[in-house]
Amino acid sequence: MQTKSFDVVIVGAGPAGATAAFFLRQQGLDVALLDKATFPREKTCGDGLTPRAIGVLDEIGILDDLLVEGCKMDEATVFAPNGTPVTTQMPIREDHPPIMLAIPRYKLDNFILQKAVEAGADLCEGINVQDVQIEANGVKVVGRYKGQQMVINGRMGIMAVGASMGLLKRMGILKKTPTLTLAARAYYEGVQDLSGRFEFYFEGIPLPGYGWVFPLSENTANIGAGIFEIRNRKKDNRTAQMVMEQFLNIPKMKHHLAHAKRVGPIKGYPIRTDFATAPTYAQNLMLAGEAAGLVNPLTGEGIDYALESGKIAAQHLGLMFKSGDFSDAQLEQYDQKLRAHFHEQVRFCERIRDWYLHKPIINRLVNVAKKRDQFRELFTDIVLGNVAAKEAMTFKTVSQILLTR
């Protein structure tokens, strides 16, 4: 058995974990970054990056690489259930570039990870963490590495294990399985007439859910579909793969894919969107990214949330190490920072998802968005988390929606 000790041990080297490691190293803390996978590794995802994600990736110093390797877009088109399209531009904001990018996670996650390693994080790949024991003055992380047990001690730990819930349940942090969104995607070559925009489809998809076409180049794309498991949705047995097959059969998709070839299988994976009720810490431990249920409940995008929460966790830990105060009261402050940063947007998007994803309502919203530039921009801003929903949804905006013919 091998044993090592660090200031912070991070379980999971996806965007949340690797970002936390990068920003912890910026503050001079010793960091162990553990993952069961060996990088580069695939992660089932739509591969879409919002302007907020790009803002953090720029801070980490990899935006130039991503612009070379990824496909840059500054517009998105939404297709209403009746097929009507509306195209919106990325709003210009001070804190991040007005662009979106699509880049396979196989590449993206490795870029972030390499920056964490360059910054001095101690990476251990191929270690399956089986237990994290909370001790009076730290955490003891126990994993299986090359057939042997490995123990890594940390004064503090960060759980950044994504939607993989087994470990959190075994530790008693997650009491039950939250309601999940199910999504599936595949890569295609030879896709014709890609618009050069992110395309979101409510057409041909059982609601609440949506399909997407995210171009990766002029003729390759990540195509997928998701279905939200919401509280009032009747139980059915549809899988994400089934929803995706249905989506691929709508005429617009048949056209896109007339001469296309799928590269690799259709892969599905659950998405956690339960931040509103999820725990974000335990004694000597923080949760970041999707492990804290941090994903936009309306769009299913969680990379920006993972990057931002990884950074917030690292900054807060920096303060804790400076003060030497590792109490639960300090961890409660971390929870409050996360809630202050994400709660309102998550609640707004949850409400839209649960109450408004009905065909006539989406058709109407798309109609209003086509006619009212201001509404279109505002809605894009709110969904992307650029502005606070409460301040933005004024009486005037709501009246516009109701009055537009």
Ligand X SMILES: Cc1cc2nc3c(=O)[nH]c(=O)nc-3n(C[C@H](O)[C@H](O)[C@H](O)COP(=O)(O)OP(=O)(O)OC[C@H]3O[C@@H](n4cnc5c(N)ncnc54)[C@H](O)[C@@H]3O)c2cc1C
Stretch that binds ligand X, among 32-40, 88-96, 170-178, 314-322 (CB under 6 A): 32-40
Site for ligand X in 69-88 (CB under 6 A): none
Q: How far is the CB of 164 from ligand X (least distance, A)?
A: 4
Stretch that binds ligand X, among 44-52, 63-71, 363-371, 390-398 (CB under 6 A): 44-52
- Which amino acid, one-letter code, is at 368? V
Tokens of 104: 């396979």
Binder to ligand X among 31, 32, 33, 45 (CB under 6 A)?
45
What x-and-dash track marks residues 180-199 binding ligand X by CB under 6 A? ---xxx--------------
Binder to ligand X among 48, 51, 104, 215 (CB under 6 A)?
48
Residue 30: left if φ>0, alpha if ψ -120 to 50, beta else—which one?
beta
Q: How far is the CB of 270 from ligand X (least distance, A)?
A: 7
Of the candidates 206, 216, 321, 300, which has an alpha carbon nearest to the alpha carbon of residue 264? 216
* Residue number with CB closer to ligand X (100 or 352): 100
Which residues are CB-neighbours of 392 under 8 A, at least 6 positions away? 378, 381, 382
Residue 257: left if φ>0, alpha if ψ -120 to 50, beta else—which one?
alpha
Q: Is 15 in the site for ligand X (CB under 6 A)?
A: yes
Where are any strands of DSSP class E within 66-208?
71-73, 75-79, 85-89, 100-102, 122-125, 127-135, 138-145, 148-159, 180-189, 198-201
Binder to ligand X among 5, 110, 164, 397 (CB under 6 A)?
164
Of the candidates 64, 1, 41, which has an alpha carbon nearest to the alpha carbon of residue 123? 41
Q: How far does CA 32 lie from the centroid of its chain?
A: 23
Q: How far is the CB of 48 from ligand X (least distance, A)?
A: 3
* Residue number with CB closer to ligand X (11 or 368): 11
Task: Report how far residue 301's alpha carbon sits from residue 295's, in angstroms, rounded to the nearest whole number.
Answer: 6
For β-strands 31-35 and 122-125, DSSP reports them as parallel
Site for ligand X in 336-355 (CB under 6 A): none
Q: Is 211 in the site for ligand X (CB under 6 A)?
A: no
Which residues are CB-neighbours of 377 under 8 A, at least 6 positions away? 88, 89, 91
What x-and-dash track marks residues 214-233 binding ligand X by CB under 6 A? ----------x---------
* Residue number with CB closer to ligand X (129 or 368): 129
Site for ligand X in 109-128 (CB under 6 A): 128
Q: Is 34 in the site for ligand X (CB under 6 A)?
A: yes
Q: How far is the CB of 400 from ligand X (least distance, A)?
A: 29
What x-and-dash track marks residues 267-306 binding ligand X by CB under 6 A? --x-x-----------------xxx---x----xxxxx-x
Q: Is 16 in the site for ligand X (CB under 6 A)?
A: yes
Of the candidates 177, 176, 384, which has an alpha carbon nearest to the alpha carbon of residue 270? 177
Q: Is 208 in the site for ligand X (CB under 6 A)?
A: no
Binder to ligand X among 6, 8, 14, 331 (CB under 6 A)?
14
Residue ranges of alpha helices (H) inside 128-200 are 166-170
C-alpha separations of 216 from 103, 196, 270 in Å:
6, 9, 23
Q: Is 382 in the site for ligand X (CB under 6 A)?
A: no
Residue ranges of alpha helices (H) inside 210-269 are 240-248, 251-256
Stretch that binds ligand X, among 46-54, 172-180, 253-261, 339-347 (CB under 6 A): 46-54
DSSP code of residue 238:
-
Query: How many residues at the interface with ligand X, by CB under 6 A?
Result: 40
Q: How far is the CB of 390 from ligand X (least distance, A)?
A: 23
Binder to ligand X among 6, 23, 35, 141 (CB under 6 A)?
35
Binder to ligand X among 47, 203, 377, 381 (CB under 6 A)?
47
- Which amino acid, one-letter code, is at 117? V
Please list, residue by residue across 174-201, b when 16 or more beta carbons sit within 10 angstroms of its beta carbon and e when fewer do: beeebebbbbbbbbbeebeebeebbbbb
Q: How far is the CB of 327 from ligand X (least distance, A)?
A: 26
> Which chain residues interact with ligand X by CB under 6 A?
11-17, 34-37, 43-48, 128-129, 160-162, 164, 167, 183-185, 224, 269, 271, 289-291, 295, 300-304, 306
